[in-house]
Amino acid sequence: MKHLLEQFLDYLSIEENLAGNTIDSYRNDLRRYLSFVTSEKEYSDFNQITSKDISAFVQLLNSLGLSPKSISRNLSAIRTFHKYLLNEDILENDPAENIDLPKLPKTLPSVLEIAEVEKILEQPDTLNYLGIRDRAMMELLYACGLRISELLSLKQNDVRSDAGFLRVFGKGSKERMVPVGEVAMNWILVYQEKVRPHHLGKLTSDDVLFLNAKGKKMSRMGFWKILKRYTEMADIKKDVTPHTFRHSFATHLLEGGADLRVVQELLGHADISTTQIYTHIDREYLKEVHKTFHPRG
């Protein structure tokens, strides 16, 4: 069983090209699952596992107080694993096929108003090197709706300033081209010309675009602290993270009339249902406009 698990993880890495942290999550969740089924029934073959065993494991996770989101992630890993075993002719039947994912509460992501975004963007002191870098990073994060991992892994040659586009590698190293507004592009060019050579010094950075003061690749925690500081300086009371900028990017586009499919492409979502959460926010905005401006609102 352990051998087949490692074989499956190799498949995710090589064939599906999943990120290392995603594969680690699969490994942890599936090891917990296999430990449960083998200790309960002393199974030695995957064909011995039944849908009742999987349901019992889900019930155990629920009794331990795991959130519906965490349980869904575990069950998703189990279903993907069993499907792989079925396709490899190791399983005769898929016991996870009819196990439903727990219903997740529909929580709307935190979103900033346009004025709040602008206020945060205006906080860096652009008379110094770090201020220019911080302004360029935040402008780009909002202009393109990037994930934090996408922002920090950008290379210099990913910036296509002549065409006004950015080449982005998202989840699973899937490539997409995202348009960059004139304001954000100008800040990137200023940063590349004046700041990056100063920070780089004699170090090499594999052509990574955004560097810290020591000339190394910016860390996730490093940028999170930067954003937190400017949010506090702007006196914004909301809990603002890099992903808040991504949510705000999508919401502001939809509020402006952008097509959902276009927003899906810009965000790099493989499934349109992932993008549809933003339509809930858009409806709330429409209700507010109706209430404010309609004579019978």
- Distance in angstroms (rounded) separating the CA atoms of residues 143 and 254: 14
Q: pLDDT category, 204, cuts 50, 70, 90?
A: low
Share of the chain above pLDDT 90, in %: 37
Average pLDDT over residues 5-18: 89
Question: 292 vs 198, which has greater pLDDT?
Answer: 198
Q: Domain 114-292 class?
A: mainly alpha
Q: In the annotation, is 269 catalytic? A: yes
Q: In the annotation, is 147 catalytic? A: yes
pLDDT of residue 244: 92
Q: Is the pLDDT of residue 243 over 60?
A: yes
Name the active-site residue from 27, 83, 243, 280: 243
Best CATH choice for the domain 2-87 from the list 1.10.150.20, 1.10.150.130, 2.60.40.10, 1.10.10.10? 1.10.150.130
Q: In the annotation, is 278 catalytic? A: yes
Average pLDDT over residues 266-277: 74
Name the active-site residue from 82, 133, 135, 147: 147
Q: Is the pLDDT of residue 290 over 60?
A: no
**Domain layout of the chain by residue ranges:** 2-87, 114-292
Q: In the annotation, is 229 catalytic? A: no
pLDDT of residue 241: 92
The residues, ordered by sequence, that sit 6+ positions from 250 with a Cβ below 8 Å of its Cβ are 145, 263, 266, 267, 275, 278
pLDDT of residue 134: 97
Strands (E), the chain: 159-160, 165-169, 175-179
Mean pLDDT of the chain: 85
Name the active-site residue from 32, 83, 119, 269: 269
Name the active-site residue from 82, 133, 246, 247: 246
- Distance in angstroms (rounded) separating the CA atoms of residues 143 and 146: 8
Model confidence over 51-103: pLDDT tens digits? 888 888 888 888 777 777 788 888 989 999 999 999 988 888 888 888 877 66
Name the active-site residue from 171, 176, 217, 280: 171
Residue that the structure tokens 């702007």 belong to: 234
Judged by DSSP in three states, 241 sits in coil
